[in-house]
Structure 1
Amino acid sequence: MLEQRIQQHFFDAADLLYQSAEVLAKPVASATQALLGSLTAGGKLLLTGTGAALAVAQAMAAQLVGRFERDRPGLAALVLGADATVTAALLKVAPPGSPLAMQVQALGTPGDVLVVFASAPHDAALAEAVAAAQARDMTVVAITPRGSALGALLGETDVWIGVPHDRSARVQEVQLLVAHALCDALDLQLMGEQDSA
């Protein structure tokens, strides 16, 4: 019984990944162009998420600043909301509002991109961060579950990657794959095809 339940996780994940490949290829390509446009113009990427989705943002930022699968110069990427000390201090000393939105206002500049990972359909803190980014003339890339309220907040230059599932665990699995696809696509666009050895 237990082994069958464990196997079902793998089957469900495989089904979702297969379904997502066709649905998400175009928005992931659009997101790649947004990220590439910002980076090549001297902008930076601000990545964030809430709950377990923040770990996906951290992993992607590490692969952008460091390396994904091959060596290249580091790309300008910064995670917002990962430092609990800063977040707690902002809640104590700053005016009311989301600490994420405050960080976007302080660090974001026109031409930058805010990359948001949400694992829940409704997240007020991320919605405030999106609004702050739009007010700073930044592009937003939102990677969320289907039916997310964030999708309705995005403008015509923003990109929504709506994972076709509602269960948080499945959404996060696809988000990590999307993050890897974005890193690979950026490497391809910046450095060309890798020589096969």
Structure 2
Amino acid sequence: MRTLEEVLTETIAVKSRILDDGILLETVRNVAEHLVSGYRSGARVYMCGNGGSAADAQHFAAELTGHFIFDRPALGAEALHGNPSHLTAVANDYDYDTVFARALEGSARPGDTLVAISTSGNSANVLRAAMSAKELGVTVVAMTGESGGKLADLADYLINVPSSDTGRIQESHIVFIHAISEHVEYKLFAQQP
């Protein structure tokens, strides 16, 4: 078992590697600008993930549909696991690997964005959603760990945290979610002088 000090040291080390990775930082900036552009043209954003990544997907959707820094109009965003009846029906009638793809196929349109979150980059249902997104003309933002897994090959934007530790990856995903949410909110709604 690691001590609290060791966990904090690892967290700081991962954040330092991120800060030193100009390509990764530029990708995050580009994702934020992509969402701004999409929202300006009426697009929506969908998110998916499993376990902690599902919680991150829901968190991201909440920041966009609610508000992050200041009060403003809601933005179209949806975590694809948010409807338990859909999730259980599709898992039962088809299979669990299809649950996100089926939800996306029923709602997404060309120009929308899917944020596919998987620390390994290899979650079968997330991969299937990304494949469906590509077929639908939906941009794929992949949030993964260091390798990117199979999801890297399907991503238009790959945000791959430089770590293989699930906890450190998820902590970093939340940092990116907050940074993107803040950027989107200010670009779309901040009062300009």
Hey, what does 1:17 align to over in structure 2?
A: 15
The residue type paired with residue 10 of structure 2 is: D
The residue type paired with residue 90 of structure 2 is: L
The residue type paired with residue 150 of structure 1 is: L
In the alignment, the residues of structure 1 paired with residue 20 and residue 192 of structure 2 have an alpha-carbon distance, to the nearest angstrom, of 24
1:62 lines up with 2:91 in the alignment: no
Q: TM-score, normalised by structure 2?
A: 0.91
The residue type paired with residue 154 of structure 2 is: L
Q: CA offset at residue 92 of structure 1? A: 2.3
Hey, what does 2:153 align to over in structure 1?
A: 152
Q: CA offset at residue 81 of structure 1? A: 1.5
Q: Which runs of 5+ in 1 are unaligned?
A: none
Secondary structure of 1:67's counterpart equals coil
Q: 1:106-144 deviations in whole A, cap 9, x for unaligned?
A: 111011000111122411111110010010001111111
Q: 1:52-108 deviations in whole A, cap 9, x for unaligned?
A: 111011111111101101111111101102333321111223488511111111111
CA contact (8 A) 1:50 1:119 kept: no
In the alignment, the residues of structure 2 paired with residue 83 and residue 95 of structure 1 have an alpha-carbon distance, to the nearest angstrom, of 16
Q: TM-score, normalised by structure 1?
A: 0.89
Identity over aligned pairs, percent: 25
Secondary structure of 2:20's counterpart equals helix
Q: 1:41-61 deviations in whole A, cap 9, x for unaligned?
A: 111000111121110111111
Q: CA offset at residue 35 of structure 1? A: 1.1
CA RMSD of aligned residues (A): 2.0
Secondary structure of 1:74's counterpart equals coil
1:129 lines up with 2:132 in the alignment: no
Secondary structure of 2:3's counterpart equals helix
The residue type paired with residue 130 of structure 1 is: A
In the alignment, the residues of structure 2 paired with residue 173 and residue 33 of structure 1 have an alpha-carbon distance, to the nearest angstrom, of 22
In the alignment, the residues of structure 2 paired with residue 113 and residue 11 of structure 1 have an alpha-carbon distance, to the nearest angstrom, of 34
In the alignment, the residues of structure 1 paired with residue 116 and residue 8 of structure 2 have an alpha-carbon distance, to the nearest angstrom, of 26
Q: Which runs of 5+ in 2 are unaligned?
A: none
CA contact (8 A) 1:121 1:146 kept: no
